[in-house]
Structure 1
Amino acid sequence: MAERTHSIAGQSISTGAGVDAIRAALAGVVGTVAFTVLAYLGPVMGIPKMDIATMLGTMFVADPAAAFVPGMIMHFMIGVVLALGYVYLFERWLPGEGWLKGAVYSLVPWLMAMVVVMPMMALVHPMVRSGMMPAPGFFLAGMGTIMAPLGSLIAHIVYGVVVGAVYGRTQAK
């Protein structure tokens, strides 16, 4: 595929040969929707509640009710950035169909979340530091059940499968 140039807010963005940043961002949004639905439905399946929006939002807004919208915006921004990372750094190097590439890639952000991001919450999150929110810990050990990291893994794999499938399908058109 030839190099593409997109105009966003009056700025030209070159995505390089074979990469479509707009479609990658769209895939990230769709993948994040799938992840979010699964995360919020977790308790129905025996998985602890993963209230991502509140966790992210309360890093900046003290009131959990007011933190939901900024947290959800952050969550979707992260989903788009991860999809762009997949497309620019991994997609062309992984073998197989798009959904499989996405599933394999999803292990990268999941491991980063389990090993780096969640343990750091005890240091950087004001509500965790004050004791108002439990520290998730390494591989979500603070959640008290193996279902927490397994639920997160499933949600990340679903995200990756959707991103890989949506991006792969839109690239084929």
Structure 2
Amino acid sequence: MAGRMIGRWRSAPKRLAALTRGAWPRRRLVAEACLQLAVAETRLRLQPLKHQGLQGLVAAAPSVASQPAPAAPGERQAALDVGWAVTRVARYFPERAMCLAQALAARTMLRRRGIGSIMHVGVAASEAARFEAHAWLEAAGVEVTGYPVPPHLRVLGCLPSDGTAAR
């Protein structure tokens, strides 16, 4: 298994090269997504979830107050671009970046652009007594990461972000 992971790491630059063909803004977006996913994955592996900024999880359905402000012109396209970059780059991570890492990375990228978002967390217990969890992110009326959401999940909570930089 270790040999297979090493092989995937060695071939990752070649596979990512296809994503970086094109204009410089696209290259910067792919590079930022790589960095943010690596940071999110590392933080999730090294720190408990309570240190991941999930303390503000609002119970069950979000209230009207936790909905992001209406999208300004250009925010919708920026959210689509961030979602594209994070989901494409996540495919090339050795263990395929988890949905929570993708949501955290995209949330950070959107916050840097001043775009509010809502991260949802859902859980379910399957028939085989397996625990399942999933995280997905929406912003500016766009499904950013984690979609489609499995229908059997029960929404545990959501974490709204107003798009301002964290202190």
TM-score by length of 1: 0.31
Q: Give 1 or 2: higher helix fraction.
A: 1
The structure whose Rg is larger is 1
TM-score by length of 2: 0.32
Q: Give 1 or 2: higher strand fraction.
A: 2
